[in-house]
Amino acid sequence: MNNLMVELGTKRSIIRELFEYSKKMKQLYGEDKVYDFSIGNPSVATPSEIDGQIIDLVKNDNQVHGYTSSVGNVDVRDAIAKDLNSRYHTSYTKDNLYMTCGASSAIAIALKAVVSKDSDVVLAIAPYFPEYKVYAMGAGAIFRVVSADMDNFGLNINELEKCVNENTIVVIINSPNNPSGNVYSKEEIEEVASFLLKKEKEYGHDIYILCDEPYREIVYDGINLAHIPSIYHNTILCYSYSKSLSLPGERIGYILVGQNCNKASEVLAACLGAGRMMGYVCASSLFQKVIAKNASALSDLKVYDENRKLLYEGLTKIGYKCIYPKGAFYLFVKALEDDAYKFMERAKNYNLVLVPSDNFGVKGYMRLAYCVSSQTIINSIPAFEKLYKEYN
């Protein structure tokens, strides 16, 4: 038996634990009396025409339940390349794309594809999505964390410079960021890109940016999100339809490796190899067919912006401190005591379910997923107020 796997399988992530806790609390107190900000499950519906198309595909497409080619169907990859080209003035083709079971498998596969030695290091920039550590471990890499810029959770280039060395193979960049809600500016990405380019020359090997962007479409106030593959050559982009089309349970996403990546076709072949080794034979056939018809479609995401304002204004008015999120659907709030776990426990007394920040690589904060109904946010504000009073 592999004890590490037993440990990973038995020790649930704190987010999952809180999600289960809140389900129990809702049974006890009623749905509307528990304010569950634990999990990033989209609250907006999948576009209704997609539900119609699914029924139609199941009824009329006799290939719908069959295996697809490992890399994914041609038509879905064509449709995605066309959509990306229209947005970013790029010239991607189906050959730059590999369909995956969401971003999780895309990241795990991409890391496995490029990590080749025990000494290879994967860097994540705090605060970061905790599963990166598991995927880096799965790839056989050493996982290291670049400290956060605690002023605004921007990219801390000085810290990155301290962490990159000849063993660095991958730097993971997640923007819009889970958990901070920050969006890195084009200038920040350009600074990282020119630094990594310099380091590639110095060390004589490729350093990849793994750009994890499941929240790409959830950006506010007209911010233009930088397309990292157009800025840095060795970028492997991992995308998911979990958030943009509210399809997290359907497990569909992709890996994009642009033509400007060194040995692009080999990198993509390595992704296929890694997917094969890990048993990801092909992404859902039904949802490849759905995405082929909806490569440019989006759920109605505007409620997230409304929720962002409601929650930010509600909490800062009380006295809580947090940065105003520019993207994704998370608010990263300073806990009212140093130990975020203790704060989480005290918040539970008010039926507030909040995630402590320690697993995201930063201490003393709480992550609030505001992909909930606006009414939940409105109802939760008095509970936040009572919690605040307990500390003041």
Residues of this chain that bind ligand PLP (CB under 6 A) = 40, 102-104, 129, 174, 178, 212, 214, 240, 242, 248, 253
CA distance 337 to 34: 22
Structure tokens at 299: 């759920």
The distance of closest approach from Cβ of residue 71 to ligand PLP in the complex, given in angstroms and rounded to an integer, is 18
The distance of closest approach from Cβ of residue 30 to ligand PLP in the complex, given in angstroms and rounded to an integer, is 27
The distance of closest approach from Cβ of residue 20 to ligand PLP in the complex, given in angstroms and rounded to an integer, is 17
Of 303 and 336, which CB lies nearer to ligand PLP in the complex structure? 303
CA distance 305 to 309: 6
Of 227 and 251, which CB lies nearer to ligand PLP in the complex structure? 251
Residue 106 CB: number of other CB atoms within 10 A?
A: 30
Nearest to 113 by CA among 122, 124, 102, 101: 122
The distance of closest approach from Cβ of residue 247 to ligand PLP in the complex, given in angstroms and rounded to an integer, is 9
Of 181 and 253, which CB lies nearer to ligand PLP in the complex structure? 253
CA distance 18 to 241: 24
CA distance 296 to 82: 9
Of 102 and 327, which CB lies nearer to ligand PLP in the complex structure? 102
The distance of closest approach from Cβ of residue 174 to ligand PLP in the complex, given in angstroms and rounded to an integer, is 5
Of 25 and 245, which CB lies nearer to ligand PLP in the complex structure? 245
Residue 235 three-state SS: strand
Residue 187 three-state SS: helix
- State the alpha helices, DSSP H only, in 122-184: 131-138, 157-163
CA distance 291 to 83: 11
The distance of closest approach from Cβ of residue 76 to ligand PLP in the complex, given in angstroms and rounded to an integer, is 16
The distance of closest approach from Cβ of residue 212 to ligand PLP in the complex, given in angstroms and rounded to an integer, is 5
Report phi then psi at 123, rounded to 5.
-105, 135
The distance of closest approach from Cβ of residue 62 to ligand PLP in the complex, given in angstroms and rounded to an integer, is 28
The distance of closest approach from Cβ of residue 135 to ligand PLP in the complex, given in angstroms and rounded to an integer, is 9
- HSE, CB side, 13 Å, CA atoms: give it for residue 92: 27
The distance of closest approach from Cβ of residue 155 to ligand PLP in the complex, given in angstroms and rounded to an integer, is 15
Residue 334 three-state SS: strand
Of 176 and 258, which CB lies nearer to ligand PLP in the complex structure? 176
Distance from the Cα of residue 105 to its chain's centroid: 12
Of 240 and 376, which CB lies nearer to ligand PLP in the complex structure? 240
DSSP H/E element including 80: helix 74-88
CA distance 357 to 179: 8
Of 138 and 314, which CB lies nearer to ligand PLP in the complex structure? 138
DSSP H/E element including 285: helix 285-293
Of 124 and 192, which CB lies nearer to ligand PLP in the complex structure? 124
Determine contact, residues 47/297, Cβ cutoff 8 Å: yes
- Strands (E) in the chain, as ranges, are 35-36, 97-100, 121-125, 142-146, 168-173, 208-212, 235-240, 253-257, 330-334, 352-353, 355-356, 365-369
